[in-house]
A and B are shown apart, each in its own frame.
Chain A
Amino acid sequence: MKRLLLNFLIFITFITYFNKNIFAENIYVDLELVLAVDVSSSVDEEEYQLQIRGVGAAFRHPGIIAAIESTGGNGIAVAMVQWSDNEEQALVGGWHIIKDASDAAEYARIIRRAPRIIAGGQTSIAGALTFSIEQINNNNIDSSRKVIDVSGDGRANNGVHPMKIRDIALEQNITINGLVIINEEPFLDGYFERGVIGGRGGFVMIAEDYRDYAAMILQKLLREIGMPVS
């Protein structure tokens, strides 16, 4: 019995040491949003800049701020994930709780300065989804809506088929929305509709190229955060 108790204590100490937040109280927000940005080899530096600057600009838009402020003080939690092949994903700057204009401006600054952590690689949408699901599950944040916002300019050519991970996300009530950049693959939206997006209100938006990215991500965020597109 003593041995059992000792083992139990060692186990608890071990868990506590490796997960300091296990007993921490979760923060509640209206929406947990992962912005999964494609940084595979098909995305050059200028295109990467157009993406992050576009996201940064969107978080300064009065419509986005109004949508966030209308969440009744809970705000939203946002994280950016960069992804390419099955082994290459990175959380950029951690999770951020945005409740008002100053939080949004702060986040815009962080995103605009976000370095490209992954230089390139193949395209594993499944890898991006798996990593994003893990980030949502381990962020000590609770919400009524969880969304992965995956953008990309190509089909998966690495890792398992995204359908498989999509189904796992749906089981956990995580919605997956897509923003496809069709500069290289004009029919990519169909692929996303068939194998990537899903969940409550899941949708795909199309940007003709990276120059349209800012306009489309703005519309997408307005829709995701809950305000009608102006």
Chain B
Amino acid sequence: MKCFVINIKVNLIMDFNMKIQILKLLLLFNLVFIILTNAFAADYSYVKKKAEILKVGTFEEKITVVQELGSLSSNANFIIPDLIYSLKNDESHDVRMEIIRALERISGEANKTVPALIEALGDDDWQIRWAAAGALTSFGKKSAMAVPELITLLRDPNDYVKNAAISTLGKMGPISVAVMMDEVAKPLDYADDQLYIRIVCIRSLGALGAKAMIAVPMLVENAQNDNAAIRLESVIALRKIGGDDAVPGETGWLAEPDEMVWPKGSRREGQFLMFVEAKQMVIYAIVNTLLISIADPDPQVSYSAIKGLVSFGNKALPVKDKLVNFMISGSPIMRRVAIDALSTIGEEADDIIPDLVTALSDFDVNVQWAAIQALRIKGKKAVPELMSMLEYDDDTLTSNILKTFSEMGNEAKEAIKILLVMLKHDNSTYRALAAEALGEIGEPSLLVINSLNNLTKDDDNNVVKSAEWSLKELNRIFNEKDKNS
């Protein structure tokens, strides 16, 4: 019985302590609530005061207020109706432009803002139409109801407005795909500017990337069109839809089912194809089109097709020989993109290493750089060929071989002996580049360090700096190794 009484007493004490704790907690919550409420109240009344200026202020005051409201982002959501009112009624072009920018920054209350911006798309002032078309981008899928008006704007007399409209359509997502496909399907004599409309719609489909998968068959067909401009845009769009950047991983596709236009599965000859297989079919169709388009008579189409193949790695293997031929094309851009495509093929294209080394002496610096990077990717497999070509002692070639060793880093350690010889070359540029390559290779042997030390007394400042840098680098590596051991 005594024990029972004690227990009750303890419980009562605990309850009392708990009550105190709860009371404290409530007081704290109350305090936080009061602070927050006051803060919001202050914000609200402050912003509301600003809204008054929108109606009665001078031109300068209005501009300042609108900019300020725009900078508040979503904190100014409740002021959107006031901004919309002024957008519709203010007489100043500048104020209205600034309001559209503010609405774009706030990006809230889509059910009110998007209709207001749609109304602005029909404004007599082209700059208002342009700004409104651009501002709709911030609303993504929520601006779906603007699609018909944006399509109408594609026929706007002003180029800025047209471009803003197509840009927004290209950012919207699958909701605009069907409308754009309709426009692409229309014959070129449908309207005076139908060629332009078709081109921008194809470009915009490409901008949507994987979300426009459903348009692939149409684009494949357009890649064979008689008109070179249509072929070009179709090839670019296809490479964007199928490229690495556009096609997210499979889980990405599944994670965003509302973003999907391409079905997760499709039926062919009664057999169910999982979406992965369907994706492979799409990629196959795209790559096949790119492989065909390489031979296009229009150099721009051909260039774009090669550029597209860069994203597909060894799928470019069937056209390897053609790409090697492009490496001696008269156009530096073609030579460069061919090197880029070849560099992604992998081991199956190791036999092109001599061609890549030759490209180091190309007269175009960007082709040389593409070759350096391609050889960097090849790594140590390319070192023997690079070393053997040093005997030609050509200014451009030798400098670029030495730069390639630097870019390769430790992969080029087989070249250390020949680099030590190059440290004694008459040409100071070679000495500086060889010294730097030794630092990048990062093998701090006594022989390398002594040779670089000798170079710190060189007559050429560039050589001295290069040697000093490499010594510092090798010293760091040596200390790290020492610490680890």
A positions within 8 Å CB-CB of B: 50, 53-54, 57, 60-61, 101-102, 105-106, 109, 112, 155, 160-161, 163-164, 183-187, 190-191, 194, 208-209, 211, 214-215, 218
Contact = CB atoms under 8 A, between A and B. Distances in A.
A160 B73 contact: yes
B369 A214 contact: yes
B101 A218 contact: no
A102 to B, nearest CB: 4
Contacts, number: 79
Contacts of B166: 187
B462 A101 contact: yes
A105 B310 contact: no
Contacts of A185: 171, 207
Interface of B: 67, 70-71, 73, 101, 104-105, 134, 137, 163-164, 166-167, 170-171, 203, 206-207, 209, 240, 243, 245-246, 307, 310, 336, 340, 365-366, 369-370, 372-373, 403, 406-407, 432, 436, 439, 461-462, 465-466, 469
B245 A184 contact: yes
Given A160-B105, A186-B170, A186-B203, A211 B310 contact: yes
A91 B226 CA distance: 52
A161 to B, nearest CB: 5
A172 B153 CA distance: 37
A42 to B, nearest CB: 9
Per DSSP, chain B at the interface is helix
Nearest to B339: A211
Nearest 9 Cβ contacts at the A-B interface: A187-B167, A102-B462, A215-B366, A186-B207, A161-B105, A102-B461, A102-B465, A183-B245, A211-B340
A218 B365 contact: yes
A230 B466 CA distance: 27
Given A161-B105, A215-B336, A187 B465 contact: no
A185 B469 CA distance: 40
Contacts of B104: 161
B70 A194 contact: no
Given A160-B73, A218-B365, A105 B170 contact: no
A191 B465 CA distance: 42
A79 B383 CA distance: 34
B432 A105 contact: yes
B326 to A, nearest CB: 15
Nearest to A110: B469
A115 B134 CA distance: 37
28 contacts: A53-B407, A57-B369, A61-B365, A101-B462, A102-B462, A105-B432, A106-B469, A109-B466, A161-B101, A161-B104, A164-B67, A164-B70, A184-B246, A185-B171, A186-B170, A186-B206, A186-B207, A186-B240, A187-B163, A187-B166, A187-B171, A190-B134, A190-B167, A191-B134, A209-B245, A211-B310, A214-B369, A215-B369
B476 to A, nearest CB: 11
Contacts of A105: 432, 436, 462, 465-466
Contact of B71 (A53, A57, A164, A194): A164
Nearest to A194: B134
A102 B336 CA distance: 28
Nearest to B341: A211
A54 B240 CA distance: 23
Contacts of A184: 209, 245-246
Nearest to A185: B207
A186 B366 CA distance: 23
Nearest to A62: B365
Q: Which of B171, B209, B365 gathers most chain A CB within 10 Å?
A: B365
Contacts of A214: 366, 369, 373
